[in-house]
């Protein structure tokens, strides 16, 4: 490893996850099983991917851990908050994502992970009704309690650093309000005034994490850290933030397949996407106000890859529709259909159909691991604010919309951003162009 300015990954890394449902229990079980060499962390870039560093005679392909100091799986200590009191083992069994034989070897470790009381507001997730929640607390009191939870966790488990990851349900859509979300002072004022309309519970988690020196990752499409006030807080505390929404199934396909259409200079008339999903996420998204939050993040992918202004003959007026349907029999086994109407030479129409039968949590678990390890790395490298290099893992990448910045949604451009950031943090030259 070259000499770089990144602090070493010494000591234990606390991973505090908001939500102990299907995704989180699958993530935790997989990490604990991999530590015992009983399972492979397939799908994780930090564990498998190799990046080229150097050129010509100096060229070599190295795993991330050989370029930058990444925390080891053995050093991770898990904790969680959840509205339901079930421990991580019970949650993994209840989620029915993994077979019992793949959970039992780490049963003791999972049973020891008991969720802390959640900062929860029923109005933000009407389909959830757990009783492991903070009672009668204002938004600011929630922040104070969460900060105390983080401090206690660090002390109790002897962890040196903490990363906080949101893997809970999608909240109802909170539009950005400049008067509340525009500056840190306004945000704090609204929290102290217990402004329940503009301050979602997730914002309390993000504020608490950043204030306690922990990077924060938003794995749902919530507005949480996608506001100038949170950017200001992350700069002030020197902590990285990343979001929003794990890029698992259909959007992964879209961000990888749309570049084929664009690169081949084919035209697009319409792209219809629909999903069926039966887990807790599907239940929450069955509520129209919660689906609206998801829809905004899923719709944004295509528009920055196939841009009408750049190719008016090919991409003007295409129709883009996204649907999610709650269907309990499928549980965590999500199915996504994409119908893509394209046109070619002389405007003649063609169609592409994609049917992705995926397992939501199996795809999300490695993303959780990578986002946690890379956010921790970014913090030790002194990187703060929006971490654009993590866009590869996220459905609706954060960007400074106040300055008209357009997010990069093109999967292969996102991959270049990821590789360049790893190179830079490892003391190498960021030598790939984003074309």
User: H helices within 184-331, ranges in order?
Assistant: 184-192, 201-211, 228-237, 250-263, 280-285, 288-303, 312-315
Query: What's the CA gap between 234 and 76, in Å, rounded?
Result: 23
State how far Cα 307 lies from the chain centre.
Answer: 25
What domains does the chain contain, in order, with CATH numbers?
Answer: 13-246+362-425 (3.40.50.720), 250-359 (3.30.360.10)
User: H helices within 124-200, ranges in order?
Assistant: 139-157, 178-181, 184-192
Q: 0.85 cut: is pTM over it?
A: yes
Query: What's the CA gap between 112 and 114, in Å, rounded?
Result: 6
Which of the four pLDDT bands, split at 50, 70 and 90, describes residue 298? low
Q: Which pLDDT belongs to residue 300? A: 74
How far is the CA of 83 from the CAs of 52, 91, 169, 387, in angstroms? 44, 12, 11, 29
Query: What's the CA gap between 31 and 370, in Å, rounded?
Result: 11
Q: What is the pLDDT of residues 203-262, one digit of tens each?
A: 999 999 999 999 999 999 999 999 999 999 999 999 999 999 999 888 899 999 999 999
- Determine the average pLDDT of the residues in 352-361: 94
Q: What is the pLDDT of residues 71-120, one digit of tens each?
A: 999 999 999 999 999 999 999 999 999 999 999 999 999 999 999 999 99
Q: Which pLDDT belongs to residue 249? A: 85
Which of the four pLDDT bands, split at 50, 70 and 90, describes residue 3? low
Q: Is pLDDT at 10 greater than 90 in this prediction?
A: yes
Q: Is pLDDT at 279 greater than 90 in this prediction?
A: no
CB 168 within 8 A of CB 226: no
Q: Which pLDDT belongs to residue 294? A: 66
**Which tokens is 336 given?**
């996504």
- Determine the average pLDDT of the residues in 403-425: 95
CB 391 within 8 A of CB 415: no
- Determine the average pLDDT of the residues in 137-144: 97
Q: Does the bond joining 244 to the residue before it have cis omega, within 30 degrees of 0?
A: yes
b/e sequence 94-130, b meaning 16+ C-beta within 10 Å = ebebbeeebbeebbebbeebbbbbbbbbeebbeebeb
**E strand or H helix that includes residue 245:** none
Which of 102, 104, 105, 37 is closest to 73 using CA atoms? 37
Give the CA count within 13 Å in the CB-facing half-sphere of 173.
13
Query: What's the CA gap between 82 and 132, in Å, rounded?
Result: 7
Q: Is pLDDT at 190 greater than 90 in this prediction?
A: yes
Q: Which pLDDT belongs to residue 290? A: 75
Which of 390, 365, 393, 391 is closest to 378 using CA atoms? 390
Give the CA count within 13 Å in the CB-facing half-sphere of 122.
8
What are the beta bridge partners of residue 356? Answer: 336
**Which tokens is 434 given?**
């984003």
Q: How many CB atoms lie within 10 A of CB 50?
A: 13
Q: What is the 3-state secondary structure (H, E, C) of 298-325?
A: HHHHHHCCCCCCCCHHHHCCCEEEEEEE
Q: How many CB atoms lie within 10 A of CB 27?
A: 25
Residue carrying structure tokens 């505390």: 237
Q: At what angle do helices 201-211 and 184-192 cross, to 10 degrees?
A: 120
- Determine the average pLDDT of the residues in 33-50: 98
Contacts of 255 (CB under 8 A, 6+ apart): 247, 301, 305, 409, 410, 411, 414
Q: What is the 3-state secondary structure (H, E, C) of 58-111?
A: HCEEEEHHHCCCCCCHHHEEEEEEECCCCCHHHHHHHHCCCCHHHCHHHHHHHH
Query: What's the CA gap between 200 and 13, in Å, rounded?
Result: 27
**Which tokens is 420 given?**
């360049």
């Amino acid at each position: 490893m070259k000499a770089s300015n990144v602090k070493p990954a010494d000591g234990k890394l606390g991973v505090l996850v908001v939500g102990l449902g299907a995704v989180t229990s699958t993530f935790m079980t997989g990490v604990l099983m991999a530590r015992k060499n009983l399972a492979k962390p397939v799908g994780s870039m930090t564990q498998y991917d190799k990046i080229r560093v150097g050129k010509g005679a100096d060229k070599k392909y190295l795993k991330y851990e050989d370029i930058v100091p990444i925390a080891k799986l053995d050093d991770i200590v898990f904790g969680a908050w959840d509205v339901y009191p079930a421990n991580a083992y019970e949650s993994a069994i209840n989620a029915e994502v993994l077979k019992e034989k793949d959970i039992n070897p780490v049963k003791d470790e999972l049973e020891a992970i008991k969720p802390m009381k959640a900062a929860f507001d029923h109005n933000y997730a009407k389909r959830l009704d757990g009783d492991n929640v903070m009672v009668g607390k204002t938004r600011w009191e929630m922040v104070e309690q969460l900060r105390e939870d983080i401090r206690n966790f660090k002390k109790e488990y002897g962890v040196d650093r903490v990363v906080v990851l949101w893997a809970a349900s999608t909240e109802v859509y909170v539009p950005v309000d400049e008067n509340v979300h525009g500056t840190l002072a306004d945000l704090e004022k609204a929290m102290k005034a217990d402004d329940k309309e503009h301050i979602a519970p997730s914002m309390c988690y993000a504020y608490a994490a950043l204030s306690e020196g922990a990077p924060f990752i938003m794995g749902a499409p919530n507005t949480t850290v996608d506001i100038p006030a949170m950017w200001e807080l992350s700069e002030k505390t020197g902590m990285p933030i990343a979001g929003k929404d794990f890029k698992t199934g259909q959007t992964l396909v879209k961000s990888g397949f749309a570049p084929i259409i664009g690169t081949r200079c084919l035209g697009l008339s319409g792209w219809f996407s629909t999903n069926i999903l039966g887990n807790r996420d599907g239940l929450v998204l069955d509520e129209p106000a919660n689906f609206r939050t998801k829809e905004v993040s899923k719709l944004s992918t295509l528009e920055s890859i196939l841009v009408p202004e750049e190719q008016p003959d090919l991409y003007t007026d295409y129709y883009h529709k996204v649907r999610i349907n709650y269907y309990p029999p499928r549980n965590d086994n999500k199915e996504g259909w994409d119908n893509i109407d394209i046109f070619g030479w002389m405007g003649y129409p063609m169609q592409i159909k994609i049917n992705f039968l995926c397992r939501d949590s199996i795809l999300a678990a490695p993303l959780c691991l990578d986002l946690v390890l890379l956010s921790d790395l970014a913090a030790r490298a002194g990187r703060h604010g929006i971490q654009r290099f993590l866009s590869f893992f996220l459905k609706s990448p954060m960007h400074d919309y106040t300055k008209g910045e357009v997010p990069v949604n093109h999967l292969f451009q996102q991959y270049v951003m990821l590789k360049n950031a790893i190179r830079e943090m490892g003391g190498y030259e960021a030598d790939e162009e984003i074309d």
